[in-house]
Structure 1
């Protein structure tokens, strides 16, 4: 179905984020197992519980507004989930992987924040007050998760990764190579 109206766009965007959330429910347990930092493991587990609630809110919106979601796969989330798999496969479990997992999780959160912010605005324009209320709850959770991930990175997760042999904080990759 082509997108011709603002309501069509709302349904398309809601279908897209629904797919994204469903993909995330499958990826989060894998991310939790891949993390070494217990706080990061807990963050992934907690967000999985929240994500189930977010899917339920989308179901509520569909029911409240009598909408029919499209069967689409969110390509953006598919790519972000694939990046997470690559991190797990390519980086040994430990502080460097944890730093990469935090970064990847923040990419996911930023995508979700943009998606829910867009849906809130479109819903407001359509007069979907009931849907906007539910979407704003999810938007607030996504922002809180992003903040928790930032605090994890700042409170030592990234410093532990920097302390790994070979990491040189603030090194200049463009500096001339010194001959001995």
Structure 2
């Protein structure tokens, strides 16, 4: 009797498992669809906690861009005859929680802004890896419409990552470092 129960559980588990590249591709699309929608909700909070004007502008622009990327994912699903739906992305959930922790554990100003850039770049790198993989799957599966949409988003994610690096490198990290020195000088007195 115990064996029958095990057999039923294993059959149910295997029915949820991807058995083809197409199924793996669709699972990946669902994952990033959830992630992008979660990011649409998280970016306004990041925006509110940033003090650097260039970073505020970058986050605002990325929010607008992310909304377009969600629309592209809708179109990718539609092009394949699939329903656009999300599947909880544990990686994005963790990255967003880490970003929240940075906000909670830093004072407003350049140090928090530098932390938000670091958290944002982790998110960008995750998205770059995901979109690159999904584009490779779409190419192999000859899903040309989805491939085009995914490659457009991949390019945007790479540009966003570069912009964040530029904002950090041009002045923000130096300002955060100056605050570190000011704090040390005050503690020495």
The aligned residue for residue 6 of structure 2 is none
Tell whether 2:71 aligns with 1:56: yes
- Change beyond 3 A, Cα 1:70–1:165: closer
Matched residue SS, 2:179: coil
Larger radius of gyration: 2
Question: What's the CA shift string for 1:121-155, capped at 9, x where partnerless?
Answer: 00000000111001000000000000000000110
> 1:11–1:69: 8 Å Cα contact kept in structure 2?
no
Shift of the alpha carbon at 1:64?
1.1
Is the contact made by 2:25 and 2:138 (CA closer than 8 Å) also made in structure 1? yes
The answer to whether structure 1 residue 14 and structure 2 residue 14 are counterparts is no
Q: Which consecutive unaligned segments of at least 5 residues does structure 1 have?
A: 169-180
The number of residues matched between the two structures is 168
- TM-score (normalizing by structure 1): 0.90
Higher helix share: 2
Q: Deviations over 1:145-177 (max 9, x none)?
A: 000000001101000000114489xxxxxxxxx
Moved over 6 A (4+): none
Please show how residues 93-104 of structure 1 align to structure 2 within 5 Å. 93-104=108-119
Aligned to 1:44: 59
Aligned partners of 1:167 and 1:13: how far apart in 2? Answer: 46
Question: Which residue of 2 is the match for residue 172 of structure 1?
Answer: none
Task: Provide, for residues 11-45 of structure 1, a one-character-per-residue CA deviation record: whole Å limited to 9, x for no partner.
Answer: 01000000100110011000011001011111111
Structure 1, residues 80-134: CA drift from partner, whole Å, max 9, x if none? 1101111111101000001000000000000000000000000000000111001
- Give TM-score, length-normalised by structure 2: 0.86
Q: 1:68 Cα shift? A: 3.3
Residue 77 (1) aligns with residue 87 (2): no
Measured at CA, do residues 118 and 108 of structure 1 come closer, stay the same or move farther in structure 2, by a change above 3 Å?
same
The runs of 5 or more residues in structure 2 that have no matched partner are 1-15, 184-189
